């Protein structure tokens, strides 16, 4: 299997597209009041120590991804167990994203089309993407990201006539506590999911510091999320915001320029679908890599099809209604905690101890 190389720009585009992914579909904005923008900034600051941990781990073991690092640090047996845990996490995450997108399409555009049909398309396409390899995924996201940003910015500009700045006030009316708790949920979803990219770090061409790369991507994605959330608040207003399922979608549907450009929200749902698709592909990719490491298969590309089948299956049975999908968000923070924070932290501490006690050989 040839080593696949992606450039830093492609890596950053992958991360940004991933994080922006389903944020606007299921991002927990119906809980947040008018201080969402403060919550995002706080979440960004909170994620700094997190990526610091990732950066440290990746710097200790150059040219390795987190799968290999776990195996090295924890030994064969425990390492394999952690790989298994993470593979399930990414598998579950992929199914969740497929379900989010198909639910979104059904609620918003095609109420009579069964969800498994859209899931079928998503599954086929993501198999094609993963079979073509990491490089193609990098180039694809590098190509589509400017397009997505352009569409988002244009819709924000076009909805300028509907802005109502008093919706942002009063600032901090409810005090800091709700802001902090919202910041936590934004921290876990979507920012903390950057952990998935530590498993792809060995494809990166240059030896830049992981911390800087992750920082840059987090800053870019937080800026995008920030702008869109503020737009949602400005256009929709607080009481509406907490009652609408897909606020970003509905604020675009309100755009009406001279009776000619109206109801263009299908464009934004295409943007959601594209970024959601990128997210599914990354999840499928890392799951396949994990499975191939567990079963010692030579190439992850051959096993991605059955994994995708199972992902689609799980996406069909996992929820029975849209409300359940949104209820999941409330516990997602606690569910993601071990994967995003606890396990990498333990790995770092164990690695440090083992190096200090001379137990572990590390190439510098």
Partner 1 sequence: MAIIIFYSLFYLTFIFIDLIPIYKNKQRKLFWIYLIMTLFSYTIIILIGVGVRIPSPALIIKDVITSIFQL
Partner 2 sequence: MSKFKEYSLSKSLDSNIEMIKKIFNNNDDTLIIRSFQNQHNNSLKCCIFFIEGMVNNEIINENIILPIVETSIPSIKSNFIEYLQYQVIVSNNLQKTDSIDQLIEAVISGNTILFAENSLEAIIIDTKGWQSRAIEEPIVERVLRGPREGFTECIMVNLALIRRKLRTSDLKFEFTTLGERTNTKACICYIEGLANEKILKELHKRLESISIDGVLDVNYINELVSDSPLSPFETTGSTERPDIIAAKLLEGRIALVLDGTPVVMTVPYLFIEYFQSNEDYYLNYYFASIGRVLRIFGFIASISIPAVYLSLVAFHQEMIPTPLIMSIYAARQGVPFPTAIELIVLLITFEILREAGTRMPSYIGQALSIVGALVLGSSAVEARLVSAPIVIVVGLSGITGLMIPKIKSVSVTMRFIFLFLSSLLGLYGYIFGMSALLIHLFSIRSFGVPYMSNLTSLHLQELKDTTIRSPWWYMKDRPGSLSKNLRRTSRGQRQ
The site for partner 1 (CB under 8 A) is made up of: 114, 116-117, 120, 123-124, 127, 295, 297, 302-303, 305-307, 309-310, 312-314, 316-320, 324, 327-328, 331, 334-335
Query: Strand, coil or helix: what is 264?
Result: coil
DSSP H or E run through 256: strand 256-257
Q: Which of the listed partners (partner 2, partner 1, none) does 105 bind, with a CB threshold of 5 to 8 Å by partner kind? A: partner 2
State the Cα torsion 16-19-20-23 to the nearest 10°: -170
Residue 160 or 306: which CB sits closer to partner 1? 306
Put residue 63 in one of left, alpha, beta given phi > 0 → left and psi -120 to 50 → alpha.
Answer: left
- Least distance in angstroms from the C-beta of 105 to partner 1: 16
Q: Which of the listed partners (partner 1, partner 2, none) does 334 bind, with a CB threshold of 5 to 8 Å by partner kind? A: partner 1
Q: What are phi and psi of 164, to 5 degrees?
A: -135, 95
Q: 258: closest CA among 157, 161, 150? A: 161
Q: Which of the listed partners (partner 1, partner 2, none) does 249 bind, with a CB threshold of 5 to 8 Å by partner kind? A: none
Residue 134 or 308: which CB sits closer to partner 1? 308
Cα(first)–Cα(last) distance of the chain, in Å? Answer: 25
**CA gap 103, 184 in Å, rounded:** 25
- Least distance in angstroms from the C-beta of 128 to partner 2: 6
Tokens of 42: 């706080």
- Least distance in angstroms from the C-beta of 362 to partner 2: 35
Q: Which of the listed partners (partner 2, partner 1, none) does 114 bind, with a CB threshold of 5 to 8 Å by partner kind? A: partner 1
Residue 142 or 193: which CB sits closer to partner 2? 142
Give the CA count within 13 Å in the CB-facing half-sphere of 194. 32
Q: Which of the listed partners (partner 1, partner 2, none) does 121 bind, with a CB threshold of 5 to 8 Å by partner kind? A: partner 2
Q: What is the DSSP string of 46-84?
A: HHHHHHHHHHHHHHHSTT--HHHHHHHHHHHHHHHHHHH
Q: Which of the listed partners (partner 1, partner 2, none) does 227 bind, with a CB threshold of 5 to 8 Å by partner kind? A: none
Residue 145 or 233: which CB sits closer to partner 2? 145
Angle at 309 between CA 305 and CA 310, to 5 degrees: 120
**Positions that interact with partner 2 (CB under 8 A):** 9, 105, 109-110, 113, 117-118, 121, 125, 128-129, 132-133, 135-136, 139-140, 142-144, 259-264, 266, 269-270, 273-274, 277
Q: Which of the listed partners (partner 2, partner 1, none) does 313 bind, with a CB threshold of 5 to 8 Å by partner kind? A: partner 1
- Least distance in angstroms from the C-beta of 328 to partner 2: 24
- Least distance in angstroms from the C-beta of 132 to partner 2: 4
Exposure string for 89-127, b = 16+ CB within 10 A, e = fewer? bbbbbbbbbbbbbbbbbbebeeeeeebeebbeebbeebb
- Least distance in angstroms from the C-beta of 6 to partner 1: 25
DSSP 1: -
Q: Which of the listed partners (partner 2, partner 1, none) does 110 bind, with a CB threshold of 5 to 8 Å by partner kind? A: partner 2
- Least distance in angstroms from the C-beta of 75 to partner 1: 24
Residue 9 or 205: which CB sits closer to partner 2? 9
Q: What are phi and psi of 261, to 5 degrees?
A: -95, 100
């Amino acid at each position: 299997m040839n080593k696949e190389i992606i450039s830093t720009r492609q890596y950053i585009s992958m991360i940004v597209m991933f994080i922006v992914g389903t944020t606007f579909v299921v991002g927990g904005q119906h809980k947040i009041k008018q201080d969402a923008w403060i919550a995002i900034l706080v979440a960004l600051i909170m994620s700094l120590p997190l990526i610091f941990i990732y950066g440290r781990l990746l710097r200790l073991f150059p040219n390795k991804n987190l799968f290999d690092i776990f195996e090295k640090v924890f030994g064969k047996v425990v390492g394999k167990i952690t790989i298994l845990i993470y593979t399930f996490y990414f598998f579950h995450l992929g199914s969740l994203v497929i379900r989010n997108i198909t639910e979104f399409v059904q609620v918003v555009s095609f109420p009579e089309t069964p969800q498994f049909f859209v899931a079928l398309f998503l599954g086929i396409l993501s198999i094609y993407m993963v079979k073509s390899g990491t490089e193609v995924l990098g180039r694809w996201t590098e190509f589509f990201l400017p397009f997505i940003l352009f569409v988002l910015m244009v819709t924000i500009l076009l909805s300028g006539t509907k802005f109502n700045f008093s919706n942002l006030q009063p600032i901090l009316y409810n005090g800091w506590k709700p802001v902090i708790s919202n910041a936590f949920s934004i921290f876990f979803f979507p920012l903390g999911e950057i952990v998935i990219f530590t498993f792809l770090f060995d494809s990166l061409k240059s030896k830049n510091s992981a911390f800087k790369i992750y920082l840059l991507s987090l800053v870019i994605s937080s800026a995008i999320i920030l702008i869109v959330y503020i737009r949602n608040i400005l256009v929709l207003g607080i009481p509406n915001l907490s009652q609408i399922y897909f606020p970003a979608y509905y604020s675009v549907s309100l755009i009406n320029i001279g009776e000619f450009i109206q109801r263009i929200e299908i464009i934004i749902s295409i943007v959601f679908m594209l970024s959601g698709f990128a997210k599914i592909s990354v999840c499928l990719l890392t799951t396949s890599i994990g499975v191939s490491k567990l079963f010692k298969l030579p190439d992850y590309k051959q096993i991605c099809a059955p994994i995708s089948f199972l992902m689609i299956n799980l996406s069909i049975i996992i929820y029975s209604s849209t409300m359940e999908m949104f209820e999941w968000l409330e516990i997602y923070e606690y569910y993601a905690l071990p994967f995003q924070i606890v396990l990498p932290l333990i790995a770092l501490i164990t690695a440090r101890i083992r190096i200090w006690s001379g137990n572990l050989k590390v190439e510098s």
